[in-house]
């Protein structure tokens, strides 16, 4: 028979990770719910996942590519910016939905116990589906512009996605905890996330920063987007050092996120 | 094993920060401004808080709770509002951790602090059964197996693929409760959830709970203001007051102790919470002779209920209603629309209604009032239940004639036309 001991909470126990595994069905149901609800609520459903990055690509291509003549490492600007947008949209939407996941689910948090970490993870998982849909457009674009990635490039994509996933979870956990405590933070977040896009090489190549481009490398999304372009479009050889830096930065972010989240978790239900 | 306690609660206490307890979250802007305006004062209070000197803002919702529950016992938890009943259930359900002490639980816990937790209005009844079931701790397979029984118990099979936002409130509650009733934990923790739903369905649920405990030997902890339900279900009862256990033992004795204590009967109840509904009951007063507030009324004295309520937005086709319960059963129900026989509309504003209860109507005993504002068949806009009052025999010839024991619950002066016929 299962024995539960309820005591004043410590900040982190390894058991917490095992518990998430025990509750994997609930994780599945939360993700399933978010997808179902979203696709029921928007009339065009899954098409929205394509429409959004596609329209952004067109606008960026017209203004940054054609009018501002932004360099694009020698590949056509539309496909250059779309590759960046694909990963950026995944990261930014995941980050913002994770940061509000506790408040959005407060009625459940105050009534039922489950490992709270499930909520942010499920928020990011939901975005993976949009990523997959939007990635189909990239395949079409690559076909249209005549790019074919090599095997290594295709194998690298899941790894890059994993970095983006962990970075979104880490940052999201931190923001979610702050959001519960300080309710005015959520009004600043969209602005903050928008700012982040400009310090990530989405619309421009990292090479334009010249000798200062190493500063950009601290941002894990720089490594993800730069290498996604390298792997799929062959803009440059794959930069393993950059991937390594991104990994380290992501782990630091994830660590901070988990600690802050677990620390606040103890009194979520009391203040939410 | 049988004699070992299934739940052991040792020295459990829960401290709230007063501003936490009020649900007061802070704005980062305010915190920054406080620090900038008077940085030294901020540091001083912060240091005091860390050192544990500053205890002004602390409040113990539970103190030194010790309790052992054995397998198969059904434990009632009673006490006035704010006595810590809900906090205890929240700690037992692991929603919030205790500040001190320890609880050891042998077995799977299912907690039901609300029916329909996580129900999503856009999803269909079928989808919500799966979602809610998962939230309550059931696996996908388990829900699929029980699916037909859940639908049947709720009686919503025709609408199972309709989004629940189109359900009537009755259907919604029935479906939600039905999912919960099919949980199979070793220990079930229930807050005042039976208060929702109509009387008949409540009865069905109580019946189901009774059946389950007797068959499977399930352990239940049950918070309620409804003494009738507690008496019917619980073997033992805990009385909490100001965060401490005042009495634990035989249900009848504990209830008797509670109903005699001064905390039980409140003649004036005020409700200051905020709401997003269209109306809110603000104050309920029980008034005895000469409109003096009292919840202990002689059976032959004037008795009225005064309700103050606020209407925020115009409501159409609604009524203000009063119900009187005895041992969980509705004795009578009345509303301000009864006389005209049609529903009226309420314009925004604050109102006061005095409802007169006829003299010599109720026999001596404990009764519970319900006051609500509802749109019949649509929803309860606000509903306050289980407001206790006591009717007692006063010094008068009728009571004396029956030796203070008039049979029945209602006293009704019938006309007797006596004629000598031979």
Domain for residue A2, yes or no?
no
Which residue's structure tokens are 């309820």? A6
Instruction: Please report the residues numbered 57 through 86 in chain B whose beta carbons come closer than 8 angstroms to any beta carbon of chain A.
Output: none
Chain A residues with beta carbon closer than 8 angstroms to that of B62: none
Judged by CB atoms closer than 8 Å, whether chains meet at B28 and A182 is answered as: yes
Domain for residue A7, yes or no?
no
Q: Phi and psi dihedrals of B189, rounded to 5?
A: -115, 120
- Binned at pLDDT 50, 70 and 90, residue A48 comes out as confident
Q: By C-alpha distance, which of B116, B205, B203 is closest to B153?
A: B205
Distances (CA, A) of B263 to B83, B222, B239: 10, 20, 11
Nearest-CA distance from A105 to chain B in Å? 8
Alpha helices (runs of H) in chain A, residue ranges in sequence order: 15-22, 24-41, 47-60, 77-99, 101-104, 106-109, 118-144, 151-181, 185-198, 213-217, 220-233, 240-265, 268-271
Domain for residue A27, yes or no?
yes
User: Is the pLDDT assigned to residue B4 strictly greater than 90?
Assistant: no
pLDDT digits (tens, 9 = 90+) for A63-90: 888 888 888 888 888 999 999 999 999 9
Residue of chain A minimizing CA distance to B1? A1
Nearest-CA distance from A57 to chain B in Å? 32
Say whether B244 sits in a helix, a strand or coil: strand
Domain for residue A8, yes or no?
no
User: Does residue B52 come out as left (phi exceeding 0), alpha (psi in the -120 to 50 range) or beta?
Assistant: left
Judged by CB atoms closer than 8 Å, whether chains meet at B117 and A108 is answered as: yes
Instruction: Please report the residues numbered 220 through 259 in chain B whose beta carbons come closer than 8 angstroms to any beta carbon of chain A.
Output: none
The tokens for B163 are: 């989004």
Distances (CA, A) of B251 to A121, B193, B232, B236, B256: 45, 20, 9, 5, 8
Judged by CB atoms closer than 8 Å, whether chains meet at B109 and A4 is answered as: yes
Residue of chain B minimizing CA distance to A6? B103
Domain for residue A250, yes or no?
yes
User: d(Cα B184, Cα B150) in Å, to the nearest integer?
Assistant: 13
Domain for residue A1, yes or no?
no
The tokens for B400 are: 């004396």
DSSP line for B149-204: HHHHHHT-GGGTTSBGGGS-HHHHHHHHHHHHHT---SEEEE-S-TTSS-HHHHHH
User: Is the pLDDT assigned to residue B22 strictly greater than 50?
Assistant: no
Q: What is the pLDDT of residue B23?
A: 43
User: d(Cα A241, Cα B69) in Å, to the nearest integer?
Assistant: 60
Count: domains in chain A? 1
Contact by Cβ (8 Å): B279, B310: yes
pLDDT digits (tens, 9 = 90+) for B124-161: 999 999 999 999 888 889 999 999 999 998 888 889 99
User: d(Cα A133, Cα A38) in Å, to the nearest integer?
Assistant: 14
Q: What is the pLDDT of residue B274?
A: 77
pLDDT digits (tens, 9 = 90+) for B248-285: 999 989 988 888 776 677 788 888 877 778 899 999 99
Say whether A256 sits in a helix, a strand or coil: helix
Judged by CB atoms closer than 8 Å, whether chains meet at B118 and A107 is answered as: yes
pLDDT digits (tens, 9 = 90+) for B338-379: 998 999 899 999 999 999 998 888 888 888 899 999 988 778
DSSP state for residue A209 in the 8-state scheme? G
- Binned at pLDDT 50, 70 and 90, residue A42 comes out as low
Q: Does B162 touch chain A (CB under 8 A)?
A: no
Q: Nearest CB to A112: which of B26, B111, B130?
A: B111
Domain for residue A160, yes or no?
yes
Judged by CB atoms closer than 8 Å, whether chains meet at B31 and A41 is answered as: no
Domain for residue A64, yes or no?
yes
Nearest-CA distance from B209 to chain A in Å? 20
Q: Does A25 touch chain B (CB under 8 A)?
A: yes
Q: Which residues, 6+ apart, have CB-to-CB distance to B158 below 8 Å?
A: none
| Residue numbers of the domain that contains A244 | 14-271
User: d(Cα B75, Cα A215) in Å, to the nearest integer?
Assistant: 63
Distances (CA, A) of B238 to B41, B83, B195: 45, 12, 20
Q: Phi and psi dihedrals of B392, rounded to 5?
A: -135, 165
DSSP state for residue B290 in the 8-state scheme? G
């Amino acid at each position: 028979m299962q024995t539960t001991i309820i005591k004043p909470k410590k900040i982190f126990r390894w058991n917490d990770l095992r518990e998430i595994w025990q509750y994997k069905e609930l994780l599945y149901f939360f993700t399933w719910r978010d997808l179902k609800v979203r696709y029921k609520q928007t009339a065009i459903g899954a098409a929205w996942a394509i429409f959004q990055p596609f329209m952004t690509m067109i606008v960026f291509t017209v203004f940054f590519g054609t009018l501002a003549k932004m360099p694009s490492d020698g590949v056509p600007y539309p496909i250059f910016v779309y590759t960046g947008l694909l990963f950026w949209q995944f990261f930014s939407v995941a980050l913002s939905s994770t940061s509000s996941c506790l408040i959005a689910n407060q009625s459940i948090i105050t009534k039922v116990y489950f490992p709270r970490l499930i909520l942010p993870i499920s928020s990011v998982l939901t975005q993976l589906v949009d990523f997959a849909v939007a990635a189909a457009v990239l395949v079409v674009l690559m076909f249209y512009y005549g790019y074919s990635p090599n095997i290594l490039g295709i194998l690298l994509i899941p790894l890059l996605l994993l970095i983006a996933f962990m970075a979104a979870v880490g940052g999201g956990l931190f923001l979610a905890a702050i959001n519960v405590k300080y309710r005015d933070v959520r009004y600043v977040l969209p602005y903050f996330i928008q700012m982040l896009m400009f310090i990530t090489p989405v619309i421009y190549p990292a090479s334009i920063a010249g000798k200062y481009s190493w500063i950009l490398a601290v941002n894990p999304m720089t490594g993800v987007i730069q290498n996604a372009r390298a792997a799929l479009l062959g803009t440059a050889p794959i930069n393993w050092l950059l991937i390594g830096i991104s990994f380290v930065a992501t782990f630091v972010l994830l660590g901070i996120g988990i600690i802050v989240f677990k620390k606040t978790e103890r009194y979520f239900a009391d203040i939410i | 094993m049988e004699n070992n306690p299934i739940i052991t609660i040792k020295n459990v206490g829960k401290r709230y920060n007063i501003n936490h307890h009020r649900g007061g979250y802070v704005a980062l802007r305010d915190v920054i401004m406080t620090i900038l305006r008077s940085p030294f004062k901020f540091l001083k209070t912060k240091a005091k808080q860390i050192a544990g000197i500053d205890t002004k803002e602390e409040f113990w919702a539970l103190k030194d709770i010790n309790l052992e529950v054995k397998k198969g016992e059904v434990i009632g938890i009673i006490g006035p509002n704010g006595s810590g009943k809900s906090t205890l259930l929240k700690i037992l359900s692991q929603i919030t951790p205790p500040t001190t002490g320890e609880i050891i639980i042998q077995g799977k816990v299912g907690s039901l602090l609300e029916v329909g937790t996580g129900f999503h209005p856009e999803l269909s009844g079928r989808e919500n059964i799966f979602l809610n079931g998962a939230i309550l701790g059931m696996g996908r397979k388990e829900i699929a197996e029980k699916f037909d029984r859940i639908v049947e118990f709720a009686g919503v099979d025709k609408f199972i693929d309709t989004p629940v936002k189109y359900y009537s409130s009755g259907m919604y509650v029935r479906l939600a409760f039905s999912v919960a009733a099919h949980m199979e934990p070793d220990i079930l923790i229930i807050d005042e959830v039976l208060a929702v739903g109509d009387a008949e369905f409540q009865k069905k649920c109580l019946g189901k709970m009774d059946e389950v405990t007797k068959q499977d030997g399930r352990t239940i902890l049950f918070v309620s203001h409804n003494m009738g339900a507690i008496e019917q279900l619980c073997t033992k009862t805990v009385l909490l007051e100001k965060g401490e256990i005042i009495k634990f033992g035989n249900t009848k004795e504990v209830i008797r102790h509670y109903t005699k204590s001064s905390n039980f009967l409140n003649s004036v109840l005020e409700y200051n919470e905020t709401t997003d509904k269209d109306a809110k009951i603000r104050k309920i007063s029980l008034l005895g002779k000469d409109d003096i507030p009292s919840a202990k009324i002689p059976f032959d004295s004037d008795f009225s209920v005064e309700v103050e309520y606020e209407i925020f937005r115009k409501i159409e086709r609604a009524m203000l209603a009063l119900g009187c319960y005895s041992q969980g059963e509705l004795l009578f129900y009345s509303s301000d629309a009864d006389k005209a026989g049609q529903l009226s509309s309420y314009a925004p504003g604050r109102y006061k209604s005095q409802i007169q209860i006829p003299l010599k109507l109720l026999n001596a005993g404990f009764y519970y009032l319900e006051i609500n504002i509802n749109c019949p068949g649509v929803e309860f806009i606000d509903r306050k239940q289980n407001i206790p009052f006591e009717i007692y025999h006063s010094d008068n010839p009728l009571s004396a004639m029956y030796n203070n024991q008039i049979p029945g619950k209602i006293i009704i002066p019938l006309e007797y036309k006596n004629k000598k016929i031979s």
